[in-house]
Amino acid sequence: LNILVEKLYATPVHMQKVEMVERKGLGHPDHITDLACEAVSRELSRYYMKNYGKILHHNVDKGLLIGGSAQWEFGGGKVIEPIEVTVAGRAVKYVELENRAEGIPVDEIAIKAVKEEIRRNFRFLDPDKHMRIYVKIRPGSAELIKTFDKGVEVPLANDTSIGVAYAPLTTSEELALKLEMYLNSSEYKKIRPYVGEDIKVMVLRIGKKFNVTVASAFVDKFFSNVQDYLSVKEEVYNDILDFISRFNLDYDELNLKLNAADDPENMNIYLTVTGTSAEAGDDGNTGRSNRVNGLITPSRQMSLEAVAGKNPVSHVGKLYNVLAYRISKRIHEEVSGVEEVYTKILSTIGHPINEPQLVNIQYISKHKQLSIEDKVKKILEEEFSPDRLRKLTDEILNGQYLLF
Amino acid sequence: LNILVEKLYATPVHMQKVEMVERKGLGHPDHITDLACEAVSRELSRYYMKNYGKILHHNVDKGLLIGGSAQWEFGGGKVIEPIEVTVAGRAVKYVELENRAEGIPVDEIAIKAVKEEIRRNFRFLDPDKHMRIYVKIRPGSAELIKTFDKGVEVPLANDTSIGVAYAPLTTSEELALKLEMYLNSSEYKKIRPYVGEDIKVMVLRIGKKFNVTVASAFVDKFFSNVQDYLSVKEEVYNDILDFISRFNLDYDELNLKLNAADDPENMNIYLTVTGTSAEAGDDGNTGRSNRVNGLITPSRQMSLEAVAGKNPVSHVGKLYNVLAYRISKRIHEEVSGVEEVYTKILSTIGHPINEPQLVNIQYISKHKQLSIEDKVKKILEEEFSPDRLRKLTDEILNGQYLLF
Amino acid sequence: LNILVEKLYATPVHMQKVEMVERKGLGHPDHITDLACEAVSRELSRYYMKNYGKILHHNVDKGLLIGGSAQWEFGGGKVIEPIEVTVAGRAVKYVELENRAEGIPVDEIAIKAVKEEIRRNFRFLDPDKHMRIYVKIRPGSAELIKTFDKGVEVPLANDTSIGVAYAPLTTSEELALKLEMYLNSSEYKKIRPYVGEDIKVMVLRIGKKFNVTVASAFVDKFFSNVQDYLSVKEEVYNDILDFISRFNLDYDELNLKLNAADDPENMNIYLTVTGTSAEAGDDGNTGRSNRVNGLITPSRQMSLEAVAGKNPVSHVGKLYNVLAYRISKRIHEEVSGVEEVYTKILSTIGHPINEPQLVNIQYISKHKQLSIEDKVKKILEEEFSPDRLRKLTDEILNGQYLLF
Amino acid sequence: LNILVEKLYATPVHMQKVEMVERKGLGHPDHITDLACEAVSRELSRYYMKNYGKILHHNVDKGLLIGGSAQWEFGGGKVIEPIEVTVAGRAVKYVELENRAEGIPVDEIAIKAVKEEIRRNFRFLDPDKHMRIYVKIRPGSAELIKTFDKGVEVPLANDTSIGVAYAPLTTSEELALKLEMYLNSSEYKKIRPYVGEDIKVMVLRIGKKFNVTVASAFVDKFFSNVQDYLSVKEEVYNDILDFISRFNLDYDELNLKLNAADDPENMNIYLTVTGTSAEAGDDGNTGRSNRVNGLITPSRQMSLEAVAGKNPVSHVGKLYNVLAYRISKRIHEEVSGVEEVYTKILSTIGHPINEPQLVNIQYISKHKQLSIEDKVKKILEEEFSPDRLRKLTDEILNGQYLLF
């Protein structure tokens, strides 16, 4: 394992004067596109595993969501033109068994995966009524399956790419992430069913002053006039303030804005039929939403790789990002004295995934004299063991990581 | 102007032990998708400007490239299934003039723009023969045009988003950028016409050791057998070494790899019909290629915004990234003592673009005592003046910035 | 009413030496395309009627079915690539009510209509799993709805076109029609569930010799080997012979062929996963299946108009074909001595549908001296009365006519 | 050769009281769709022939044209949304040569074929600017090519289908056909360049009274106001009258209508940007335009087969229709005493095309005692000889038949 551990002399982000953090929530068009691609990869993986004992090659990490057209109305409006979601990429469509070729209903699996993912995550967005799902998955070359051939060897990296992650989150980052998750939790939806899923949180910290900007869709059918909307909005505004106070945020000044672009006099208010702005024109692409820790952090080192839709076996653009996330977290938790740690992993195309070109650990220590190399190496050796890597694949499939 | 200048105590990137830089070149599928979206925005802008005296609202920053299927052959192969490129978004399709509505042939403009962009940039990729261009631009609301109404006021930010950039480039970054540009220059293509446009450069620096990995498509029709390919590859390998030596790179060790995944014995060599891997299955999305300085720099602060396809008048996701790039460059060039500078600009939706929520400058100084605040403020005031912002729009349209 | 009744001196078809008749059954790709277009028109009509008190303008009579790819297998195979069905045309998407515009979810209505139509008619073809439904319905101009404005006036013909029909059916025609309907009846499917819906019947009569050619898909999951298939095929063959004998066909010679293209030794047998050949490549277009009486009769006068998908209020290409069918039938049934009667109705675009350009009745009489003009006129006046025409629209919507 | 010749006792169509004939001209949306499918079949045939010495299997007889949206204007308007044309079907995409598989750029050939066909036939409809061409041709199974294997044997019928034609044309039929051809001739376009290509002619003959209805698009850029249009329309009206007088039509009454639906006061006049109504919403399907003799003749026996797009080697739905046309014409020309002749040819799937199931000739003779059987048989034997059938394929490819 080619490891390079470097002590970084730098102001940790939480001590810098300015921080900007963003979380694109569940119903954001880019996030829906990520959900779609990832659901397809997950269900393909399961189908391959169930039928052939291993996850065959696929990569469906390119997606496009074309916003629809809708007409909200007090009491409940209509989606006039559906949202179009396309998932594109490659997947094995034929396997060669001992004496015959067998086809794999990739399109059917894919469409079903996307629809179920939508149904699982949304209450008012009906994939049959409000969406059209398109699949543009071209066949990869047929794979020859031998029965004994069940994942004994370590997969080869299918690209030269870089995984990046860090730990720990700053308070601003925690806030952005947790606030969106709270507003999109089933508990909260129970008491405030009219809050849509398309929620975006932006936190700007300047010293101890916090500007929290929340844009949240509301669902039209719960409202009968503008007054209704305005009073509910105030309610939600107060919920957010309560949440922040339970969060024990240490601040001098707090500015909260909820749907700042509203102009109620001209009936410009953020109502939707389905809970997402995708119904009325906002488009989306895969890999343009949050990073593997659920956040967009322009002040940080980041990967540009889309994690969603890549296969969790050999596609290092996915594996190494999740792994960097795990490693950063473990180092921060297990190695005392580490204030901030950045992990970058670089693959070499065609080499086993447990033999990266380089694992680069950068850390900011709380003390001058800290040496962490040995402990880090131990963690890395554990994390890069073939067994652990296989487990990582399983964990990704089981939904143990946010991914985006 | 809300400015916050912060001195950062940190090891500048060029002095850190490890650097990873990537440049996705001209013919990379993600890059082609960026080119397509940007060309559409540029030509729409010109049409609007020419016919109505100002750039009307549009945003076509979502794209999808679905790779084709091709069969290379010594002497020249064939594209069997064309590459499909979709450009999606919104644009004004009707304007209300004094006494009538006028339609705008957005699709026609868009298709033409993409085709011409491909023709301008590629020698063997024929947009009519090898590609299908799809346009999914839905109409924005009709704009009411008054003749006197020519851009007097400052546009309003159409989103809350963040522009991020830095200066200067490290040597590794310069190398990645310049090497790709050299290999894709018309001069180089003249002497080595068989080098395709799909070139990806990855630079890994560990101390003074450089691992330079180049993946470059070659064009099949120039070759008659594998030997041919291997000897030409050696030629190009030496060209790159020459380039690096002219570059005056200060290194202890240099490892150059060109098309490392080649396996000539099994005829796995990187030949293409058109010069890009998009012909045979590699897919692309907008905004997943290089940042505004032409690079992917995981060790750096980065924006996740796609610049390509956004309108250059009010879409701060584009404007503020280019502006942050200009500002960083100017500060580094004009303010002595600045070793590294990071600029972040945050907009507020609906506010004039010359009134950002915050401009955050972070710099690493060469000397302990450096104070740069006054000089920075002067630069910022110049850069944020309405005239200068208008000029920025023009410069973007005239191709003065890399963008991606 | 401009009527021209003409006695025709001609050998009636049943007395000619040769007759060729074809019936494309329920699951034929052209027929599925017709079903899809018609279902969309019907459900749009119902929606318009329910919400606005009248059927607004629409015409969705252009469709395309692109066959999928499937792999049948003994015990049950798979659909690898889904069948794609596109319904195209125009429909009113916005209505102007007293004080506001209201949108109509045309796409949603259309997709749902097609899926339900498929579910109603097929047992093993699942529109969610095996099909993709695309809708390309562009908006017609917004209609201004006044509440009192409920269909008082007679609609205007929206085209210059011709309706054509005849009566009675010959024995060969009856046979082709009834045989397919029997094989696709729910009673028959109960005892022979393995018989698919894609059934084509061709009857060639030469004098009293009948060549009956039936092509019928079978459903793979009911079979475990070729022997199975062959013995079931024999069973069905005998069922058809029984049906023909119950039919009291007066023949000298009867040649029945069932799936004549089978080549069991090379495993070329007509098995399908879903019951239709559309699963594996056979494509379809609207209006290329049976005429309004359910048959393709090359020996007869025919209309080339597609009936499926046209609106049943003003689209004479639909109305006049059904009407010609009714009129022919009534004349044959109510006017004694008529051996064969042909009705052709020609519209004038923009004229009320109860004022056709010409109604042309041609009849072959059993007796020399027959004059039927008065009786025919009476029938025509009844059939062209505004009330009766309105009823015709209702009957079409209620499924009282075969249409194709 | 299984032949059945039958003397028919019937009033020939030209002596019946009423005749209705229609000709959908060059620029009619259904006709454009036919042109597109046929162009693809023709160019595929040429490619196969040139590269592999024989025409490989294909069938692209399903098409869909979705009308665009356009805004005509005096002096020249714009196409806002392009016309979409899809050509669907199957074609061999891979051939197995001695030692390797070779791909065939079917999509590229198809797109090019359609564009060139449009350019050849239209002056103001630009396939690059005003149209999008989509190809949905799925691969047929790979064909194994042996060099010596050049069409020695007779092809096998790929379907059970019926070809139908008759001779001669009546005067009304001649008029409908020739009038459209005249108005779309290059000579006429030279003197009246403003007459578009979308021309539909309907002839209704009642005894010796002729109602001729012509709908013809005009091209907007030649006109500067409504008066202009009206005076040009009068000019064209007179041209048609002149044409009819040169045609020596024997009539008692002649009613000519040109663009009867015009309502100049409300600016409803038949102006177009491109010369076809497809630019603004009229849709099209393959096989719904004219029959093989260029006409739609509801009073006649007709085939429902689409001829356009079928391969001219083994697809009897095309071959037998053209052949029936040739045979009818020859019988009428070469066998004296034949007043009207109908030819129907029925294939058997899988049987050589020179061995049809039945050739049925029906004729109406001028004299009581006429026997034509021997002469007809001689003609049929010539026409069904393998050499003559091969020549028929060539003639179809060379454009010797109208086809639609």
Residue B161 CA to residue B157 CA, distance in Å, equals 9
Query: Does residue B63 have a pLDDT over 60?
Result: yes
Chain A nearest C-alpha distance from C214 (Å): 30
Peptide bond into A298 cis (omega under 30): no
The alpha-carbon radius of gyration of chain C (Å, integer) is: 23
Report the relative pairing of strands C78-81 and C69-71 from DSSP bridges: antiparallel
pLDDT in tens, B173-225: 999 999 999 999 999 999 999 999 999 999 999 999 999 999 999 999 999 99
Report pLDDT for D147: 47
Residue A82 and residue C107: Cβ atoms within 8 Å?
A: yes
Q: Do B350 and A296 touch (CB under 8 A)?
A: no
Instruction: Note whether B108 contacts D79, CB cutoff 8 Å.
Output: yes
Q: For the ranges B74-83, C91-100, D330-339, which has the lowest average pLDDT?
A: C91-100
- Give residue C145's pLDDT: 66
Could you tell me how many CB contacts below 8 A there are between chain A and chain B? 168
Q: Smallest CA–CA separation between A216 and chain B, in Å?
A: 14
Give the angle D63-D64-D66 at the CA atoms, nearest 5°.
160
The predicted structure's pLDDT at residue B143: 73
Q: What is the mean pLDDT of residues D119-136?
A: 96
Predicted pLDDT of residue C147: 47
**Which chains are within 8 Å of C by 3+ CB pairs?**
A, D
- Whether B88 has a pLDDT exceeding 90, the answer reads yes
Chain A neighbours, 3+ Cβ pairs < 8 A: B, C
Q: In terms of Cα–Cα distance, which of D160, D306, D315, D157 is closest to C211? A: D160
Question: D and A: touch, per 3+ CB pairs < 8 A?
Answer: no
Q: How many CB atoms lie within 10 A of CB C193?
A: 13
State CA C376 to chain mean position distance: 27
- B152-172 mean pLDDT: 92
Q: What is the dihedral of CA B108, B111, B117, B119, to 10 degrees?
A: -100
What's the mean pLDDT when you consider all of chain A?
A: 94
Please, what sign has the CA dihedral across residues B110, B115, B118, B121?
negative
pLDDT in the model for residue B148: 46
Chain A residue numbers touching B304 (CB-CB < 8 A): 288, 296, 298, 302, 304
CB A65 within 8 A of CB A281: no
Section C389-398 average pLDDT: 96
Is the CB of B6 less than 8 angstroms away from the CB of A17?
Answer: yes
Neighbours of chain B (3+ CB pairs under 8 A): A, D
CA distance C22 to chain A (A): 34
Q: Residue C320: in which H helix or E strand, if any?
A: helix C316-334
Q: Which residues of chain B does D104 touch, with a Cβ-Cβ cutoff of 8 Å?
A: 78, 80
For residue D210, the cross-strand partners are D205, D254
Select from C43, C47, C51, C71 the residue whose CB has the most chain A CBs within 10 Å, as the one to mutate to test that interface. Answer: C71
Position D213 pLDDT exceeds 60: yes
Structure-token match 């109404």, residue found: B149
- Residue B364: phi and psi, rounded to 5, are -105, 125
Return the pLDDT at A185: 98
Residue with tokens 């007066």: C250
Backbone dihedral region for residue D287 (phi beyond 0: left; psi -120 to 50: alpha; all else: beta): left
Cα distance between residue B87 and residue B137, in whole Å: 7
Smallest Cα–Cα separation from A22: which of A293, A321, A342?
A293
pLDDT of residue A166: 97
Reduced to 3 states, what is the DSSP secondary structure of residue B360? strand
B103 to D130: CB separation less than 8 angstroms, yes or no:
no
User: Left (φ > 0), alpha (ψ -120 to 50) or beta: where does A248 sit?
Assistant: left
Contact flag D93-B103 (C-beta cutoff 8 Å): no
> Is the backbone peptide bond immediately before C168 cis, with ω within 30 degrees of 0?
yes
pLDDT of residue B147: 46
* Share of residues in chain A with pLDDT > 90 (%): 88
Tell the residue number behind the tokens 């009823």, with chain if given.
Answer: C391
pTM: 0.89
B105, closest residue in chain D (CA to CA): D80
Q: How many residues are listed for chain D in this entry?
A: 404
Q: What is the ipTM of this complex?
A: 0.94
| pLDDT above 90 for A100 | no
The reply to whether residue D79 touches residue B104, judged by beta carbons under 8 angstroms, is no
Question: Nearest residue of A to residue C112 by CA position?
Answer: A129
Which chains contact D through at least 3 pairs of Cβ atoms less than 8 Å apart? B, C
- A41 near A198, Cβ under 8 Å? no
Longest Cα–Cα distance in chain C: 73
Q: With contact defined as beta carbons under 8 Å apart, do B305 and B347 qualify?
A: no
Q: Which residues contact A168 (CB under 8 A, 6 or more apart)?
A: A329, A332, A340
Minimum CA–CA partner of D86 in chain C: C64
**B contacts of D78 (beta carbons < 8 Å):** 103-105
Is residue B369 predicted with pLDDT exceeding 90? no
d(CA A250, CA C211): 91
Q: How confident is the model at residue A153 (pLDDT cuts 50, 70, 90)?
A: confident
Size of interface C-D (CB pairs under 8 A): 168
Per-residue pLDDT, A148: 47
Q: Which of C17, C63, C86 sits opposite D4 (nearest CB)?
A: C17
Record: contact C80-A104, CB cut-off 8 A: yes
Interface test with chain C among A78, A81, A84, A109, by most C beta carbons within 10 Å: A81
Residues in chain A closer than 8 A to C79 (CB atoms): 105, 108
The pLDDT, as a whole number, for residue D218 is: 98
- For the stretch D20-63, pLDDT in tens is 999 999 999 999 999 999 999 999 999 999 999 999 999 999 99
Q: Average pLDDT of chain B?
A: 94
Per-residue pLDDT tens over the stretch D339-368: 999 999 999 988 999 999 999 999 999 887
Contacts of D67 in chain C (CB under 8 A): 138
Question: CB distance A6–B18 less than 8 Å?
Answer: yes
Q: Which residue of chain B has the CA closest to D104?
A: B80
Q: Cα B309 to chain center, whole Å?
A: 11
A80-94, B361-375, C34-48, range with the lowest pLDDT: B361-375
Q: What is the pLDDT of residues D158-171, one digit of tens each?
A: 888 999 999 999 99
Mean pLDDT of C336-362: 95
Tokens 């190009």 identify what position? Answer: B236
pLDDT at C368: 77
Q: Where are the alpha helices (DSSP H) in C24-92?
A: 29-52
User: Taking 70 as the threshold, does the pLDDT of residue C207 lie above it?
Assistant: yes
Residue B366 CB-density burial (10 A; 0-12 exposed, 13-18 middle, 19+ buried): exposed
Determine the residue among A83, A162, A267 to mutate to test chain B binding: the one whose Cβ has the most chain B Cβ atoms within 10 Å: A162
Residue whose tokens read 């085709």:
B115
Nearest-CB residue to B82 (from D71, D102, D108): D108
Number of CB pairs < 8 Å for B and D?
57
Residue A17: which H helix or E strand, with range? none
Residue C30 to residue C63: CA distance in whole angstroms? 9
Q: Which residues of D touch C24 (CB under 8 A)?
A: none
Q: In this predicted structure, what is the pLDDT of residue A145?
A: 66
pLDDT tier at A397 (50, 70, 90 boundaries)?
very high
Q: Yes or no: say if A61 and A37 are a contact pair by the CB < 8 Å rule.
A: yes
Judge: B285–A286 Cβ closer than 8 Å, yes or no: yes
Residue by residue, DSSP assigns C171-220 as: HHHHHHHHHHHHHTSHHHHHH-TTEEEEEEEEEEEETTEEEEEEEEEEEG
- Distance, in angstroms, between A255 CA and closest chain B CA? 13
pLDDT for residue A370: 72
Q: Give the D-side interface with B, CB within 8 Å.
A: 69, 71, 78-82, 93, 102-108, 111-112, 128-130, 132, 134
Alpha carbon distance B319, B310 (integer Å): 9
Give CA–CA dist C134/C120, Å, rounded: 19
Rounded-to-integer distance, Cα D174 and Cα D250, Å:
13
Contacts of D130 in chain B (CB under 8 A): 108
Contact A203, A20 (CB under 8 A): yes
pLDDT of residue D98: 76
Confidence of residue D152 (pLDDT cuts 50, 70, 90): low
The residue of chain C with its CA nearest to that of D285 is C62
**Position of tokens 């390119």?**
A62
Q: Which of B70-79, C294-303, D143-152 has the lowest mean pLDDT?
A: D143-152
The sign of the CA dihedral C292, C297, C302, C307 is: positive
Backbone angles phi, psi at A120, to 5 degrees: -65, -35
The pLDDT value given to residue C144: 67
**Rounded-to-integer distance, Cα D393 and Cα A200, Å:** 64
Do residue B304 and residue A285 have CB atoms under 8 angstroms apart? no
- Residue-wise pLDDT for A44-80, tens only, equals 999 999 999 999 999 999 999 999 999 999 999 999 9
**Chain C partners of A95 at a C-beta cutoff of 8 Å?**
none
- Asked if A296 lies within 8 A of B304 by C-beta distance, the reply is yes
Residue A147 — very low, low, confident or very high, per pLDDT cuts 50/70/90? Answer: very low
- With a cut of 70, say whether residue D149 has pLDDT above it: no
Contacts of B130 in chain D (CB under 8 A): 108
| Residue B320 CB coordination number (10 Å) | 29
Nearest CA in chain D to C17: D6
**Arithmetic mean of pLDDT, B27-44:** 98
Least confident of B112-126, D144-158, D367-381: D144-158
pLDDT band, residue C146 (cuts 50/70/90): low
Q: What is the DSSP letter of C221?
A: G
Exposure string for D9-43, b = 16+ CB within 10 A, e = fewer: ebbebeebebbbbbbbbbbbbbbbbbbbbbbbbbb
At a CB cut-off of 8 Å and minimum separation 6, what does A393 contact? Answer: A55, A312, A313, A319
Distance, in Å, from the CA atom of C162 to the CA atom of C180, rounded to the nearest integer, reads 28
